[in-house]
Amino acid sequence: MSRQPSEAEVARRYRAMRGAMGEAGLDALIVCGSEYTGFGGGVRYMSGFRIVHRYSYVLVPLDGDPLAVFPSEARYVGDHLDGFVRDQAFADCPGEWMANHLSAAGARRVGVYGLDYIMCVRDYRALQASSLEIVGFDDEFDLARAVRSQEELAMVRETMGINESGFWAVQSAFRRPGVTQAELMAEAEAVFSRAGCGRQTMDMVLWGTHGSATPEFRIPEHETPVAPDDLLLYSLEVAGPSGYWVEFTRPLCQGAVSDSTNLLLEAYAEYYELVPKALSAGQSAHDAHRTCSEPFRSRGLQLGHVTGHSIGMTMIEHPRIGDGVEVELLSDMVISMHPHVLSADGRSCMYMQDTWRIAEGEAELLSLVPMKVFDGTERR
């Protein structure tokens, strides 16, 4: 059985979610979850169920008990007693079953979390063909869960400790003669597996030669040994036993880094000085992005993708830390920050991930690992 939240925490989640549903004029909410890494968190958040294969839903009426809905072919995939939603249904086409169930209950306006990226197409077609009004509810769902309780924050901190241990496992093996990128990643994955992360890891690497990494995220190489002047950035994205994700990255290089990398590191050092106040409670996500990206923009560097985002039981949650996102940052939101910064010519990059807790005055950095290039000789 997986670790489950307290009854008080479950009640808090449903209270907040139903408040958001009421504001949106919803009669019911369908929460989608998929086996795809990082996309099962909504279902786990609202039901406690861990998706092992395929997909599932949680149907939340504005009033009354929630219901977990599974495809018939997944009846024996996953422990269906693992969770806190006891009413369950199995259907050949869950979308058709939910449409009939909701219509019979008198529902008219139904929100869907996961409408754009997660819901199975056959289920969407069945819902869309019904008399129900189907509306997207992704941002509203994420904002209703964005402020973490103290119980949740303890779980986030636990995952952060696990992730740091994975980094140190990679770092301690970095100078092993003949070691490959894949073997280094295996050191982290062994830590994550032993700590109860299961398959809830999405780990990649950025790398390049001569002290410079190229901008593309890749699967670690399993044949070529790491060279002394290779620059490696292991993007370690994991969820611990509680299901809460955190992200962490630090660069590794045994030799000297390139001039291009040094310019990126100089900008990153200035960025790290700005983040705590930029992420203070009361700031907007847009303003935080503009402040944090200034050291890169002022040097003519390129930004590869979003500066950061809320992170929880789903890997990427709203709000994004980016242009035009006018969501106010509130105390006890948890934000992953990871500027993907490219040189002016687009040939090299720097990428460090950190997880922060929003607070009054200054945000709290949850990692204890310094911002630097590690060469494998450091001790934890």
Parallel, antiparallel or unpaired: strands 109-113 and 302-303 = unpaired
* DSSP conformation class of 72: G
At position 173, the amino acid (one-letter code) is A
Beta partners for residue 234, in sequence order: 205
Are 278 and 201 found together in one domain? yes
Q: Which of 314, 300, 296, 312 is nearest to 352 (CA)?
A: 296
Would residue 26 count as lying in a domain?
yes
Q: Is residue 376 a part of any domain in this protein?
A: no
Give the helix ranges, DSSP H, for 174-258: 181-194
Predicted pLDDT at 182: 97
CATH of the domain at 50: 3.40.350.10
pLDDT classification of 137: cutoffs 50, 70, 90: very high
Q: Is residue 43 part of a domain?
A: yes
What would the pLDDT profile of 297-330 be if each residue is shown by its tens digit? 999 999 988 899 999 999 999 999 999 999 999 9
Closest CA to 254 of 276, 291, 273, 228: 228
First to last CA, the chain: 33
Tell me the whole-structure pTM to 2 decimals: 0.93
Q: Helix, strand, or coil here: 133? A: strand
- Same domain membership, residue 171 and residue 126: no
Q: What's the pLDDT at 305? A: 80
Residues 222, 32: Cα–Cα separation, whole Å: 35
Residues 88 and 224 occupy one common structural domain:
no
CA–CA separation, 129 vs 303, rounded Å? 42
How many whole angstroms separate alpha carbon 296 and alpha carbon 302? 7
Q: What is the CATH number of the domain that holds 203?
A: 3.90.230.10
Q: Please check the confidence at residue 166 and state whether its pLDDT lies above 80.
A: yes
Q: Please name the residues in contact with 255: beta carbons below 8 A apart, sequence gap of 6 or more.
A: 211, 228, 229
Buried b (16+ CB within 10 A) or exposed e, 97-111: bbbebbeeeebeebb
Structural domain ending residue among the three candidates 116, 145, 174: 145
Residue 172 has pLDDT above 70, yes or no: yes
Q: Domain residues for 67? A: 7-145
Note whether residue 373 is domain-resident: no
Task: Report CA 62 to chain centroid distance, whole Å.
Answer: 27
Q: Is 292 contained in some domain?
A: yes
The string of pLDDT tens digits covering residues 263-293 is 999 999 999 999 999 999 999 999 999 999 9
Where would I find the beta strands (DSSP E) of 290-338? Answer: 302-303, 308-310, 317-321, 334-337
Question: Do residues 113 and 177 both lie within one domain?
Answer: no
Query: What's the domain count of the chain?
Result: 2
Same-domain status, 20 and 161: no
Residue 364 CA to residue 47 CA, distance in Å, equals: 29
Looking at the structure, do residues 139 and 155 belong to the same domain, yes or no? no
Same domain for 244 and 284? yes
User: Is 178:225 a contact under the CB 8 Å cutoff?
Assistant: yes
Cβ pair 296, 267 in contact under 8 A: yes
Asked whether the beta carbons of 61 and 28 are under 8 A apart, the reply is: yes
Kindly state whether residue 377 falls inside one of the protein's structural domains: no
128 with 165, same domain? no
Quick check: 1 pLDDT over 70? no
Residues 132 and 157 in one domain: no
- For residue 124, the Cα-to-chain-centroid distance in whole angstroms is 25
Q: Is it the case that residue 115 has pLDDT exceeding 70? A: yes
Are 165 and 277 in a shared domain? Answer: yes
In this predicted structure, the answer to whether residue 253 has a pLDDT above a threshold of 70 is yes
Q: How far apart are CA 234 and CA 184, in angstroms?
A: 9
Is 36 a residue whose pLDDT tops 90?
Answer: no
- The answer to the question of residue 379 being in a domain is no
pLDDT at 9: 97
Name the domain boundary from 145, 175, 201: 145
Residues 168 and 300 in one domain: yes
Of 145, 174, 201, the position where a domain reaches its end is: 145
Say yes or no: 217 and 343 in one domain.
yes
Question: Is residue 167, in this structure, part of any structural domain at all?
Answer: yes
